[in-house]
Structure 1
């Protein structure tokens, strides 16, 4: 009996020394695993698609139409309309090739024939996305190209505040030369009319 009492006293001392109640110890839940902390969102450094895409190209793709300003007095080999109202000529071929490279169909080009006095205002106001064969005679306009060199240089003209568009259009013009699209457009139009021309790049 004395041994049993002594054992119980020792057990109580051990438990008291640990500072734990055996019943409480049985009812304790295991510690919850540590919750991983999610890393903070990466700060934008200007390389996302949204920040590195031309706003003009975004608008063109959203409306599914590229609006191209052309001179009403353009030589027929560069631009003319057939009996059905379709546009023909080198500039028309270049415009459709650009539309294709943007991700549109050739029929998604909307030509706007403009007198020389209205070209600048149409580009600046956003009535057209680009001009073919226009003049960048205003600091708010910029030239891309040339897309053809004959007796003069023919350039694309866009608003100068969209540098990303300028870079994209230049890459498209370079690609048209590299993959033969420029030459096919030339052979079909200017070449057939006996007009000498070469690409600008």
Structure 2
């Protein structure tokens, strides 16, 4: 009888000691859910050669595109290159070349405004910004630069622009070279100077 009581006491003591113990805790179980792993912002892919953006642009060409109009000065004293007919339409080699340049800039051939300038106002018209480009001039003014020649007859004829826009001069020269290469220069010549019997050749 004493043995049974002793066994019961031992069993009860073991039960009570087990109830006082905490259940085993896994590490970090009380720390709450794990924060998501930090993510890095996706990096922008490097631009490929085909998608590169030209940062060195001409401010003059930017203004032309914004206003959707190319302002062209033509000489009043050279009717064989630019003249105005009875209906008010401009005709001539310089006119055709100006319209070709407008298309290469991104305009259409009608988005050109011509301004006939007397010889005394040719360079002032460019320097003052009244025209974007002057056809048929020469630049002996540090404010101005000449591009070309775009045509050679008895003398050389140049495009004249402001000298503070180096990129404009480069772009215009490239466009003139393209006009010669793709036959646009020749078509303009054949329809104007050539039809009038005036011998001329491209400058580049």
Q: Is residue 2:155 matched to residue 1:162?
A: no
Deviation of 1:30 after TM superposition, in Å, equals: 2.5
CA deviations on 1:61-91 (whole Å, 9 max, x unpaired) are 11111010111101x2211111111111111
Partner residue, 2:33: 29
Secondary structure of the structure 2 residue equivalent to 1:154: strand
Report what 2:5 is aligned to: none
Distance in 1, matches of 2:198 and 2:19, equals 115
Of the three residues 71, 75, 92, the one matched with 1:71 is 75
- Distance in 2 between the 1:128 and 1:52 partners? 22
User: Is 1:195 aligned to residue 191 of structure 2?
Assistant: no
Deviations 1:23-71 (A, max 9, x none): x36xx1232221324659x9xxxx844x322110011111111010111
Q: Radius of gyration: which is bigger?
A: 2
Relative to structure 1, is the Cα distance of residues 200 and 5 closer, same or farther in structure 2, using a 3 angstrom cutoff?
farther
3-state SS in 1 of match to 2:137: coil
Deviation sequence 1:107-152 (CA, Å, 0-9, x none): 2111111111111111011110000001201011101111101111
SS at match of 1:198: coil
What is aligned with 1:89? 92
Q: Give aligned pairs, total.
A: 187
Between the aligned partners of 1:91 and 1:162, the Cα distance in structure 2 is 22
The corresponding residue for 1:111 is 114
Superposition TM-score, scaled by structure 2 size: 0.82
1:4-153 alignment runs, 5 A limit: 4=15, 12=22, 15=25, 24=30, 28-37=32-41, 48-49=53-54, 51-74=55-78, 76-153=79-156
Distance 1:103 1:13, change over 3 A: closer
Could you state the TM-score of these two structures normalised by the residue count of structure 1?
0.83
CA–CA separation in structure 2 for the residues paired with 1:95 and 1:7: 101
Structure 2 gaps, min length 5: 1-10, 47-51
Deviation at residue 4 of structure 1 after TM alignment: 4.6
Structure 1: segments with no counterpart, 5+ residues? none
Aligned alpha-carbon RMSD (Å): 2.4
- Spell out structure 1 runs of 4+ moving beyond 3 A: 1-9, 11-15, 37-40
